[in-house]
């Protein structure tokens, strides 16, 4: 960070103003032992006094009282001149002397807990009052002047600071100050980003002139999609709301598949449904009410593709199901919970990753996709379907059971890479064609998988993520035994599709929305 010399800086005066008051005692001991004068304000001052350490109140230091109910405490020239002054600048030294200002060498500040307040209340006035002004201002000043000033922005950094001061007899190195400065600017940027996103969200401004993306590092991954790529996973919160309880470290591809599987699982009825995913595509889904049967039916859709995939169970796994799951090679098993006996069975496989995801929910937030220095953003495609989203356009009308199967198939279809075709029977997938440039090819793949793995006596329905541009796609499905089709409307040949459905006595339902997934 620049061409500064590798210099040590003695700390003589420290300003402490923290919302998070834990772990202060050991730090204060070290600062006091090294004869560092302490300045503080408000609740931090009270806490330091309670811990029986000497401390000067900011208002006494500046000879200016706290005003506006505490909104203005540290916003004072004596504070900021002491932080921002360059120690080797004669003009700065003279200005401090003429104004009877002292240098401040250490700033320990963390901000009002804006993010936590958002989680606790929707009261806008309370939220606004928890936007910190003085804290970020001091932190930015200290971080800018890292050549002379040390800045600490988290209680997690106290042990590092203690080690640095003890090692250097009351001083800090330029390397340490640089590192803390970088962390500090990241902290202020993150803090402002949370505020910006909150204000845009309440105004329903999803696409502001300047979009600020923020996240907490959850984990640096071994590598990305391939071993030569670097990777990490971030979250807008402090965790992903998934808990790994067994198995080796998750990879980039594991996370990608986990998020794909959970997005589908959480779209299914509460506490039901089994989803099997491979390479971010579902290869089997069933919402049969019997949980073991649900898994068996999902697996039967494409047992070859399921090998080395991940299973997401939108319910608690018991021992019986655990035994069945242990019979094939899987990378990851996700569930809302695991019975103790189920864990005993599954933990016998050392590398099998077990994920508890009962608290995971799919939020209707903005989705991001990046390329080079550009970012594509869009709202999520997760709205629950209801009857009003569809229109029956064929002469033959579906029964309630048929319509449920059609909507089930259409829901799964929107999570399959386009072009997507899903064949289903009794709310279980029986054939999936995904990711083909030709919709006709996707139809053929779904049919081939159904014929390869299924021996069906029940009727089969089909879903397409977009309209059929020609009759040949729906014709191929009907010839394979499909009795009902659901697809978005919008083709110039919709009337031809309807005519074909009526000629073949096929049920045809149109969706008002298309559901590509690229």
Residues classed as catalytic: 144, 279
d(CA 127, CA 113): 10
Question: β-strands 421-424, 429-433: how paired?
Answer: antiparallel
d(CA 192, CA 208): 15
Write the CA distances from 270 to 222, 354, 386, 392, 406, integer angstroms: 34, 20, 16, 27, 19
**What kind and span of H or E run contains 214?**
none
Please, which residues bridge with residue 157 across strands?
Answer: none
Write the CA distances from 406 to 19, 128, 205, 301, integer angstroms: 54, 47, 35, 17
| Two structure tokens written together for 375 | 């970012």
Examine residue 419 and say whether the peptide bond preceding it is cis (omega within 30 degrees of 0): yes
Taking Cα atoms as reference points, which of 281, 219, 222 lies closest to residue 251? 222
Write the CA distances from 5 to 8, 143, 147, 407, 450, integer angstroms: 9, 17, 9, 68, 70
d(CA 32, CA 53): 8
| Two structure tokens written together for 405 | 């199967």
Taking Cα atoms as reference points, which of 179, 2, 15, 225 lies closest to residue 106? 15
Q: Strands, E, within 295-373: which ranges?
A: 310-317, 332-338, 353-356, 366-371
Classify residue 19 as exposed, middle or buried by CB count within 10 Å of its CB (0-12, 13-18, 19+).
middle
Taking Cα atoms as reference points, which of 213, 211, 256, 248 lies closest to residue 231? 256
Helix, strand, coil percentages for the chain (3-state, nearest 5): 40, 20, 40
Largest CA distance in the chain: 96
102 in Cβ contact with 85 (< 8 Å): no
């Amino acid at each position: 960070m620049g061409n500064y010399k590798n210099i040590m800086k003695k700390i003589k005066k420290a300003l402490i103003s923290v919302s998070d008051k834990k772990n202060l005692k050991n730090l204060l001991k070290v600062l006091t032992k090294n004869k560092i004068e302490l300045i503080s304000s408000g609740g931090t001052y009270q806490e330091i006094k309670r811990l029986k350490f000497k401390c000067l109140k900011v208002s006494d230091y500046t000879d200016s009282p706290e005003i506006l109910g505490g909104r203005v405490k540290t916003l004072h020239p004596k504070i900021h001149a002491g932080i921002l002054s360059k120690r080797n600048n004669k003009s700065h030294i003279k200005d401090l002397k003429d104004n009877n200002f002292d240098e401040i060498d250490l700033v320990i500040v963390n901000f009002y807990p804006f993010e936590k307040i958002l989680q606790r209340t929707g009261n806008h006035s309370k939220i606004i009052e928890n936007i910190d002004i003085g804290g970020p201002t001091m932190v930015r000043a200290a971080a800018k002047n890292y050549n002379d000033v040390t800045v600490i922005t988290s209680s997690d950094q106290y042990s590092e600071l203690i080690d640095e001061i003890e090692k250097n007899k009351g001083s800090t190195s330029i390397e340490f100050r640089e590192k803390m400065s970088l962390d500090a600017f990241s902290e202020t940027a993150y803090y402002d980003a949370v505020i910006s996103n909150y204000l845009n969200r309440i105004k329903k401004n999803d696409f502001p002139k300047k979009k600020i993306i923020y996240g907490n590092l959850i984990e640096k991954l071994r590598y990305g999609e391939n071993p030569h790529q670097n990777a990490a996973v971030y979250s807008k919160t402090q965790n992903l709301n998934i808990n790994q309880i067994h198995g080796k470290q998750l990879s980039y591809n594991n996370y990608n598949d986990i998020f794909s599987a959970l997005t589908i699982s959480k779209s299914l009825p509460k506490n039901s449904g089994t989803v099997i995913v491979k390479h971010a595509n579902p290869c089997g889904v069933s919402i049969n009410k019997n949980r073991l049967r649900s898994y068996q039916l999902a697996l039967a859709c494409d047992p070859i593709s399921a090998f080395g995939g991940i299973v997401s169970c939108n319910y608690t796994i018991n021992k019986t199901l655990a035994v069945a799951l242990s019979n094939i090679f899987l990378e990851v098993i996700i569930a809302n919970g695991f019975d103790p006996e189920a864990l005993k069975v599954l933990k016998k496989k050392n590398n099998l990753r077990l994920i508890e995801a009962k608290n995971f929910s799919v939020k209707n937030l903005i989705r991001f996709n990046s390329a080079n220095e550009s970012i594509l953003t869009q709202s999520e495609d997760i709205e629950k379907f209801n009857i009003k989203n569809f229109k029956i356009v064929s002469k033959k009308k579906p029964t309630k059971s048929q319509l449920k199967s059609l909507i089930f198939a259409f829901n799964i279809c929107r999570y399959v890479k386009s072009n997507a075709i899903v064949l289903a029977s009794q709310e279980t997938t029986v054939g999936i064609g995904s990711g083909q440039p030709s919709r006709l090819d996707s139809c053929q793949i779904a049919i081939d998988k159904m014929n390869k793995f299924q021996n069906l006596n029940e009727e089969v329905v089909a879903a397409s993520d977009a309209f059929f541009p020609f009759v040949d796609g729906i014709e191929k499905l009907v010839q394979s035994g499909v009795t009902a089709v659901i697809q978005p409307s919008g083709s110039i040949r919709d009337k031809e599709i309807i005519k074909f459905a009526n000629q073949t006595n096929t049920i045809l339902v149109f969706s008002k929305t298309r559901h590509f997934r690229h």
